[in-house]
Amino acid sequence: MENTDLPVLENIKTLHKYDTIYSADSVEWCPHEPNQNLFVCGNYQLTEEQEFNSNNKRLGRILLFTLTTDLKLLQTLDTAAVLDQKWCPNQINGSSILGVVNAKRALEIYKLQNSFLVLVTKYTFLEDQSTETLILSLDWSTGKTESQHPHVACSDSKGNIHLLQLINNELVMEKSWHGHDFQAWITGFYYWDPNIIFSGGDDAVFLKFDKRAGDSPVAKNKQHETGVTSFHSNKSKEFLVATGSYDEHVRLWDVRSIKNPLNQLKMPGGVWRLKWDPFSQRYLLAACMFGGLHVMEAQSDKMVILDSYYEHKNITYGADWSFLNCNGNVIIGSCSFYDHLLCVSNFTCDF
């Protein structure tokens, strides 16, 4: 079943715009009180020379912002180019923890301390000397069940999936395996059972792994027409997960059988990021690269775009919901690449 309804509302209103200088590709809001007004924006600076010469540096920054009545930059961290960032859903020893993966084959862990990010530890993955390796995505295992020793899954540009665990402020490698023939754009946990890990790659394959069953996938799906770029598990609705693809579709799946999607929706552009809302997990926020930013109602029997946002003109990569919910007014952060634009917006909806 495919629904192609177009948006009819205009409930996304810009509150702030910010020039990030470097190209922007990631926005992530802190989920924990009293820091839910804080968020990070990740940058990946690509020059013409760097695009064709991998020996040059890929520059990056992590920008930490606070939102009150105004938008204020609190901190700038110069790093390798940032590919993805995720806050750990639960606090570790009372601190908010941020995971960041970058173009220097590293997973970095920061903690929020007095409204500043402090590096706790990092893990650098082994390099295949023939070509460079980028760590493309990460996810935490604790989207539903808290742990003081959470696992982190990462994917890389060689098609590999890595599973690590954060133990006493140190990252311990548990296992790595090869999943995709090309870039593994995304990996993520099934939050109802973190033994289950999904991945999607540029080979247009969507894979399900069970770490108790070895390194081979326990299920494989080839229905995406082009690369699988996004995945998010729904923490409120058991068995429900969502994927996005370059083929301009968002698909919903039942994890018990990923042979066919439960539902799918054609979007206005290739889908790069999908985020379930943190309140009801009924809505998806979709960053659609050249097709704008969209809020959609996403259920197995109903998929429809509720509203669209077109302030970003050049590759909308980053998108996230704030955990602040003021009487149905929800804050959204989004960013785009070549126009290095960060936007903070208000979305009005009945959650």
pLDDT, position 7? 41
Residues 288-342: tens digit of each pLDDT:
999 999 999 999 999 999 999 999 999 999 999 999 977 778 999 999 999 999 9
Rounded CA-CA distance 134/143 in Å is: 25
DSSP-derived secondary structure for 10-28: --EEEEEEEE-SS-EEEEE
In the predicted model, is pLDDT for residue 4 greater than 50? Answer: no
pLDDT, position 2? 47
pLDDT, position 126? 84
Q: What is the mean pLDDT of residues 66-76?
A: 96
Number of H helices and number of E strands within the chain? Answer: 1, 29
If one looks up domain 9-348 in CATH, what number appears?
Answer: 2.130.10.10
Rounded CA-CA distance 328/11 in Å is: 11
Of 335, 336, 333, 337, the closest CA to residue 345 belongs to: 333
Task: Name the least confident of 43-52, 131-140, 213-222.
Answer: 43-52
Q: What is the mean pLDDT of residues 207-228?
A: 96
**Quick one: pLDDT band at residue 132, thresholds 50, 70, 90?**
confident
For residue 232, count CB atoms less than 10 angstroms from its CB and return exposed for 0-12, middle for 13-18, buried for 19 or more: buried
Q: Which residues contact 186 (CB under 8 A, 6 or more apart)?
A: 136, 137, 155, 199, 200, 228, 229, 230, 231
pLDDT, position 220? 97
DSSP-derived secondary structure for 38-104: EEEEEEEE--HHHHH-TTS--EEEEEEEEESSSEEEEEEEEEEPEEEEEE-SS-BTTB-EEEEEETT
Of 336, 347, 346, the closest CA to residue 18 belongs to: 336
Rounded CA-CA distance 35/322 in Å is: 11
**Quick one: pLDDT band at residue 349, thresholds 50, 70, 90?**
confident
Structure tokens at 36: 């839910």
- The answer to whether residues 18 and 8 touch, using CB atoms and an 8 Å cutoff, is no
Residue 167, strand partner residues: 170
Structure tokens at 26: 């990631």
Structure tokens at 35: 């820091």
pLDDT, position 297? 96
Residue 253, strand partner residues: 241
Q: How far is CA 46 from the centre of its chain?
A: 20
pTM for the model = 0.93
Residues 157-199: tens digit of each pLDDT:
999 999 999 999 999 999 999 999 999 999 999 999 999 999 9
Percent over 70 (pLDDT), the chain: 93
Rounded CA-CA distance 64/261 in Å is: 37
**Quick one: pLDDT band at residue 130, thresholds 50, 70, 90?**
low
pLDDT, position 5? 46
Q: What is the mean pLDDT of residues 123-127?
A: 89
Task: Name the least confident of 16-25, 44-53, 159-168, 199-208.
Answer: 44-53
Percent over 90 (pLDDT), the chain: 88
Q: What is the mean pLDDT of residues 44-50?
A: 71
**What average pLDDT does the structure give for the chain?**
93
Residues 143-157: tens digit of each pLDDT:
999 999 999 999 999
- The answer to whether residues 288 and 314 touch, using CB atoms and an 8 Å cutoff, is no
**Quick one: pLDDT band at residue 128, thresholds 50, 70, 90?**
low
Q: What is the mean pLDDT of residues 9-23?
A: 90
Of 111, 90, 114, 113, the closest CA to residue 100 belongs to: 111
pLDDT, position 40? 98
